[in-house]
């Protein structure tokens, strides 16, 4: 191997000189396995360690199966499923998960493959701000039926089999099918939010169906060289929208520093600043939504005045961009003030009715 490197050294030197950027990570072929940092990565213990939100649909949840590890499935529904990992070393990571998405029945999906029609995909897996669509169910198949229920189809004159129930999905995953992966940078704060979500119960072709299992996490090593491509990709994730002024200023300072000096320290500082900005934008959006809802609510002049007085400090903080944190307390206060104003109007209306 050493002789090979020496033989092509001159060629590599010329190639590197002609490239604007080069390979960026010091890493092993698959990196250091840190899957142990994930609580219940194989779903063997149900939802332990995971947070499930916006869950609805049929065949929803972790399914015990006879052919291997439990799998999570969702038919004709929506969900988000995630956990936050802490105390990770800063650097590059690869997240892997076995997962698939299907926009309609197996038979219709195969017809779409045969005709070259693009399949809708509403299921993504993510790590912090990075996300990817999971692979389609029809991206892989068997030429013989496996364990569980596999549906048979003819594609280009060949009989193929697709998994069609939880047992079959578990069998497919056990065979190594439906692999997905993405890379993400973890900043100095050492936090990584990993998860998967399906946003639509139905596609234009029928009902969606998703399944997943076996999350894995690999540490590729510290970021050694920050390239133009890395900076461009990172800056594309900078959120827009109203946020806390201090958070916004810190973000702008970090971005300016990175543009001036593409150092690892500056890069991780922007990663951290973006994470803070995303949280702040979300908080301010929630506060704005609560204020807008109150403005759209019909209130008497007296109740409107009472409500306005109750939330004036929050509104001023929003406009001055001085509100800190996740906005939960402010949203709760707005909702409580609105509820009190509505109840006051109802009580006043009842009193007037009694005088008629």
pLDDT for residue 64:
67
Distances (CA, A) of 21 to 14, 186, 226, 257: 13, 21, 9, 19
pLDDT at 23 over 50: no
pLDDT computed for residue 6 by the predictor: 32
Residue 101 has pLDDT above 50, yes or no: yes
Least confidently predicted of 26-30, 178-182, 268-272, 316-320: 26-30
Task: Decide which of 18 and 283 is more confident.
Answer: 283
- 125 token code pair: 């897996």
Residue 265's pLDDT is: 85
- Residue 152: helix, strand or coil by DSSP? strand
Residues 50-55: what's their mean pLDDT?
Answer: 82
The DSSP bridge partners found for residue 153 are 160
Q: What tens digit of pLDDT does each residue of 203-233 get?
A: 888 888 899 999 999 999 987 778 888 899 9
Burial class (CB in 10 A: 0-12, 13-18, 19+), 61: middle
Is pLDDT above 90 for 119? no
- What integer is the mean pLDDT of 128-148? 93
Residue 59 has a pLDDT of 65
Over residues 167-179, the pLDDT tens digits come to 999 999 999 999 9
**Which has the closest alpha carbon to 206: 135, 138, 119, 124?**
119
pLDDT of residue 339: 94
Q: What is the pLDDT of residue 20?
A: 30
pLDDT of residue 4: 30
CB atoms within 10 A of CB 250: 16
Residue 55 DSSP symbol? E
Whether pLDDT at 202 is above 60 = yes
Domains and CATH numbers, the chain: 21-221 (2.60.120.260), 228-355 (no CATH)
pTM over 0.75: no
CA-to-CA distance for 233 and 356, rounded, in angstroms? 68
Neighbour-count burial for 315-328, b at 16+ CB within 10 Å, e otherwise: eebbeebebeeebe
How many other CB atoms are there within 10 angstroms of residue 353's CB atom? 8
Q: What's the pLDDT at 274?
A: 94
d(CA 126, CA 59): 23
| Confidence tier at 30 by pLDDT (50, 70, 90) | low
pLDDT at 351 over 60: no
**Across 174-188, 206-220, 342-356, least confident range:** 342-356
Residue pair 138/153 in contact by the 8 Å Cβ criterion: no
In terms of Cα–Cα distance, which of 279, 23, 256 is closest to 129? Answer: 279
| DSSP secondary structure of 180-223 | EEEEEEE-TT--EEEEEEE--SB-SSSB-EEEEEEEEEEEEE-B
Could you tell me which residues come within 8 angstroms of residue 299 by beta carbon, excluding any fewer than 6 positions away? 307, 341, 342, 345
Q: Decide: helix, strand or coil at residue 96.
A: strand
267-271, 315-319, 334-338: segment of lowest average pLDDT: 267-271
The pLDDT confidence band at residue 159, using thresholds 50, 70 and 90, is very high
pLDDT higher for 52 or 244?
244
Q: What is the pLDDT of residue 189?
A: 87
Q: How far apart are CA 2 and CA 244, in angstroms?
A: 54
The packing angle between helices 264-296 and 301-320, to 10°, is: 170
- Give the strand pairing for 179-186 and 91-102: antiparallel
Give the span between the Cα atoms of 193 and 123, in whole angstroms.
17
């Amino acid at each position: 191997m050493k002789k090979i490197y020496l033989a092509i050294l001159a060629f590599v030197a010329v190639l590197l000189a002609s490239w604007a950027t080069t390979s960026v990570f010091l890493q092993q072929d698959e990196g250091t396995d840190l899957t142990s940092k994930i609580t219940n990565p194989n779903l063997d213990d149900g939802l332990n360690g995971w947070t499930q939100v916006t869950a609805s649909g049929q065949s929803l949840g972790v399914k015990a199966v006879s052919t291997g590890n439990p799998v999570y499935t969702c038919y004709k529904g929506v969900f988000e499923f995630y956990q936050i990992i802490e105390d990770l070393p800063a650097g590059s990571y690869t997240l892997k998960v076995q997962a698939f998405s299907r926009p309609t029945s197996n038979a219709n999906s195969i017809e779409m493959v045969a005709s070259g029609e693009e399949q809708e995909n509403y299921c993504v897996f993510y790590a912090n701000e990075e996300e990817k669509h999971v692979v389609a169910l029809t991206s892989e198949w068997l030429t013989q039926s496996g364990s569980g229920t596999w549906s048979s189809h003819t594609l280009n004159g060949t009989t193929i089999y697709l998994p069609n129930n939880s047992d079959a999905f578990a069998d497919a995953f056990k065979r190594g099918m439906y692999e997905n992966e993405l890379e993400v940078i973890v900043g100095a704060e050492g936090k990584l939010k990993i998860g998967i979500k399906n946003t639509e119960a139905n596609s234009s072709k029928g009902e969606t169906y998703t399944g997943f299992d076996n999350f894995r996490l690999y540490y590729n090593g510290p970021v050694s060289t920050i390239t133009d491509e890395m900076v461009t990709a990172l800056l594309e994730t900078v959120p827009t929208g109203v946020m806390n002024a201090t958070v916004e200023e810190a973000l702008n300072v970090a971005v300016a520093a990175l543009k001036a000096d593409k150092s690892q320290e500056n890069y991780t500082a922007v990663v951290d600043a973006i994470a803070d900005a995303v949280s702040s934008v979300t908080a301010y959006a929630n506060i704005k939504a609560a204020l807008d809802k109150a403005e759209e609510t019909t209130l008497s002049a007296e109740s409107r005045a009472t409500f306005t007085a109750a939330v004036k400090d929050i509104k001023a903080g929003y406009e001055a961009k001085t509100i800190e944190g996740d906005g939960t307390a402010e949203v709760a206060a707005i909702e409580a003030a609105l509820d009190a104003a509505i109840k006051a109007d109802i009580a006043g209306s009842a009193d007037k009715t009694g005088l008629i």
